[in-house]
Structure 1
Amino acid sequence: MSPQIDAVILAGGMARRMGGNDKGLVELNDQPMIKHAIDRIKPQVKQILINANRNQNRYAEFGYPVLSDEDSGYLGPLAGMITAMGQTQADYLLVVPCDCPLLPTDLVQRMLAAITAEDAEMAVASDGKREQPVVLLMKPALRGSMKAFLDAGERKIDFWYAKHHCVVCDFSDQPNAFVNVNTPEQKQQLSEAIAH
């Protein structure tokens, strides 16, 4: 029997480089950015969760559960992850950011294969040049470890990965899959690239 996989789309940040605009709701080619992410991962998972700390009603319009960080201090992506880990019964949780509209359509398949091959606890994606720390597949049972990490005042996601058997999943054959949008200029460049 194949494992059950849920996903959380992280849209809980403050988007300082986007002028404070809620990145998941910023339009890219006539669709909110989060809709691009939803369309890419929906066929790959059983359930989608959205982590958002503002505009929850707007995010709820996409038809998926919206979760706010358990800790309201904008503690970064780990806060959204730990919240989602507590809300899923799945064997694995896929984590993706709301501002990556070109996510691989075989993301889950390849990451699960990497975990299985290495008997790992999690897999983090790489574009061939660098790891993508908020694109990962992990076991929700790691929630206790993450809670202890956060309770100790730690916030650096890579340091938490280092405490576990984490395998890097290579997507160098899709180098643009993890292009994300942090500034209005990047949004314009990506919009033009998608249009061509």
Structure 2
Amino acid sequence: MDSTIPAVILAGGRATRMGGGDKALLRIGDETLLDRVLDRLRPQCGKVALNANGDPARFAGYGLPILADSVPNRPGPLAGILAGMDWAAGQGASAVISVAADTPFFPADLVARLAAQAGRSGLALAASRDAQGRVSDHPTFGLWPTALRQGLRAALRAGQRRVGGFAQAHDPGRAIWSGDPFDPFFNINTPDDLERARAIAAG
């Protein structure tokens, strides 16, 4: 596995706890969350696409391929991962990295460590360990073999919605990062979270 592996940024959600709209376009200082995610991701991977639903023109300034869910009714991040798998397979790639658009501080060694921890199926998920030693999984950050895409398509059609639930059926590896001084997978769901992210960025 090398730095040419493609990646998909998951931005297909409805952001209901933020009052709707695109979390990816919220700002921390002079940058959007999407700017920050791209700055962290691009040095680690090959081509990058964005999973987003609705009018793609609102992301036109980023010059990214925009991948809408291929499964109806916005079933969640798994549909975005499937869109990324299908796109990556079309590029001839054997796997794709997924990251969440609302998580601006994810690790700069994400791709390398996921690749190093890939399980027997080639799948790996990210996790973090807090100061008390408790480990939390962050399955929207993963390495997904494109060979699993037909299985994922079938699972979505059968009603599977949990990213971790699908992943656990395929014996994933796990890469664990320290959550000190803050969890690098801290994500922005509410206005209070956005203020905390601004404080982290400033500090």
| TM-score for the superposition, normalised by structure 1 | 0.93
Q: How far does residue 55 in structure 1 lie from its aligned partner after superposition?
A: 4.4
Counterpart residue identity of residue 143, structure 1: R
Which whole-Å CA distance do the structure 1 matches of 2:179 and 2:159 have between them? 37
Amino acid at match of 2:109: D
- The 8 Å contact of residues 128 and 137 in structure 2, kept in 1 or not, is answered as yes
Partner of 2:132: none
SS in 1 for 2:62: coil
TM-score w.r.t. the length of structure 2 is 0.90
The equivalences for 1:41-80 within 5 A come to 41-80=41-80
**8 Å CA contact retained: 2:24, 2:102:** yes
Relative distance call for 1:3 and 1:48 in structure 2 (3 A) is closer
* Residue type at the aligned position of 2:122: E
Are 1:51 and 1:66, in contact at CA under 8 Å, matched by a contact in 2? yes
Consecutive unaligned residues of structure 1, counting only runs of 5 or more, are none
Q: Which amino acid aligns with 1:123?
A: A
CA RMSD in angstroms comes to: 1.6
Q: Which residue of 2 aligns with 1:95?
A: 98
Q: Provide the residue aligned with 1:176 in structure 2.
A: 183
8 Å contact kept, 2:85–2:144: no
Give aligned-pair identity as a percent. Answer: 35
Cα gap change, 1:3 to 1:184, in 2 (>3 Å): closer
Work out whether residues 4 and 91 of structure 1, in 8 Å CA contact, stay in contact via their aligned partners in 2. Answer: no
Q: Deviations over 1:19-58 (max 9, x none)?
A: 1121011112221111111110101111000000134112
**Preserved contact between residue 7 and residue 45 of structure 2 (Cα < 8 Å):** yes
State whether structure 2 residue 202 is matched by structure 1 residue 195. yes
Most deviating of 64-73 and 33-42:
64-73
Residues 61-86 of structure 1: per-residue CA shift (max 9 Å, x gap): 11110111112311100111111111
Q: CA deviation at 1:137?
A: 0.8
SS of the residue aligned with 2:108? coil
Report the Cα distance in structure 1 between the residues aligned to 2:2 and 2:29, rounded to whole angstroms.
35
Query: 157-166 vs 36-45, which deviates more?
Result: 157-166
Cα deviation, residue 131, structure 1: 0.3
